[in-house]
Amino acid sequence: MLRINELSITIEQQQIIKGLSFVIQPGEIVSIIGPNGSGKSTALKAISRMISPGENTVFIEGMDLLHLKSKEISQRMSVLFQSNDSPTDLTVEELIEYGRTPHKKWYERLNDEDYDMIDWAIEKTNLVTYRKRQVASLSGGEAQRAWIAMSLAQRPKILLLDEPTTYLDIAHQLQLLELIHSVNRELGMTIVMVLHDLNQASIYSDKICVIHEGQMVKYGTSDEVMTKELLRQVYKVDCDIDRHFKHSKPRINLIGIAE
């Protein structure tokens, strides 16, 4: 579905990403983790073409990202950013309608099928009662759901999320991750997200990509990635790892900074 091949990004003579390569299968949830400044967000920006990845580095369904038109990419892939600002009087419904843009020619209006998708996205994100509200008047968690609904209305095969839970409280974090999980399971949408919380990454991901100082340290399942040795090497912390009683995935208990 998505293949990253020797991706390197240099910004102002500083190499942020060095030779990143990995393959994401259709329908997988992949989390990219790493310490602050490791380059994980830059990697996501490159994959989502917000910064140019360079030729022959990012392939969607076998096609080079740079050879596709922006619109063709947007029909297959959607990105959700950490924070967004919208015109102050934009309503939830109007925002979500914009999600249909990639599927319309410039002169086409929305039809019944589009409105069905919009309604579906609104219901899926639990925003029915917020439909006519202004996005700017919503709380952080609600606004984030509205932006996700826009991405869902876009009906992409791949959804990229840049630290989607960062500004949310724990209840909204869980709600959001459950939403992403259910979209993945129901529609087979491939998910790639940058996450800060290692336990969330462990629970919700099929694969985890660990980036440290611009390079990939490890790419594998939660069990393969979440080891004491790796966390000490990458995050410089000591921890204990047991299993989450519900999800039976590795759970990290932090002990302290490594000597």
Partner 1 sequence: MNSTPNKKYRIILTGIILVIMLILAIGIGSVTLTPLETLKTLFGHGEAMSHTIVWDLRVPRVLIAAIVGVNLAISGALLQSVMRNPLADPGLTGVSSGASVAVLLIMLVLPNLGNWIPLAALGGGIIAVTIVYALAWKKNGISPVRIILAGVAVNAIFGGITGLLSILYSDKLPSALQWMNGSLSGKGMGDVTSLLPYSMVGWIFALFCIRSANLLALGEKVAVNLGQNTTTIRVLLSFVAVYLAAISVAIVGLLGFVGLVVPHMARLIVGSNYRLLMPMSMVLGAVVLLIADTIGRSLFAPLDIPAGIVMAMVGGPYFLYLMRKGDM
- Other C-beta atoms closer than 10 Å to the C-beta of 70 total 8
Q: Per CB under 8 A, does 86 bind partner 1?
A: yes
Residue 91 binding partner 1, by CB under 8 A: yes
Which residue matches tokens 């989450």?
244
Residue 71 found at the interface with partner 1 (CB under 8 A): yes
Q: Decide whether 81 or 120 has the Cβ nearer to partner 1.
A: 81
Question: 73 or 183: whose CB is closer to partner 1?
Answer: 73
- Indicate whether 75 belongs to the interface with partner 1 (CB under 8 A): yes
Contact 86, 135 (CB under 8 A): yes
Q: What's the Cα-to-Cα distance from 108 to each of 68, 99, 102, 105, 194, rounded to whole Å?
A: 22, 14, 11, 5, 35
Closest alpha carbon to 176 in 202, 155, 153, 195 = 195
Instruction: Determine which residue in the list 34, 53, 102, 214 makes contact with partner 1, applying CB under 8 A.
Output: 102
Q: Which stretch binds partner 1 (CB under 8 A): 1-9, 54-62, 75-83, 242-250?
A: 75-83
Compute the distance between CA of residue 68 and CA of residue 208 in angstroms, rounded to an integer.
Answer: 27
60 scored as a contact of partner 1 (CB under 8 A): no
Least distance in angstroms from the C-beta of 118 to partner 1: 14
- Nearer to partner 1 among residue 109 and residue 246 (C-beta): 109
Q: Which of 22, 23, 50, 217 binds partner 1 (CB under 8 A)?
A: 50
Phi, psi torsion values for 220, nearest 5 degrees? 180, -170
Task: Figure out which of the listed residues 89, 113, 123, 240 binds partner 1, where binding follows CB under 8 A.
Answer: 89
**CA–CA dist 50, 137 (Å, integer):** 27
Token pair 């909204």: residue = 172
Query: Half-sphere exposure of 149 toward its Cβ, with a 13 Å CA cutoff?
Result: 30
Among 3, 18, 49, 172, binds partner 1 (CB under 8 A): 49
Considering only residues 106 through 135, tell me which ones interact with partner 1, judged by CB under 8 A.
106, 132, 134
* Binding-site ranges for partner 1 (CB under 8 A): 48-50, 69-75, 78-79, 81, 84-91, 94, 98-99, 101-102, 106, 132, 134, 154
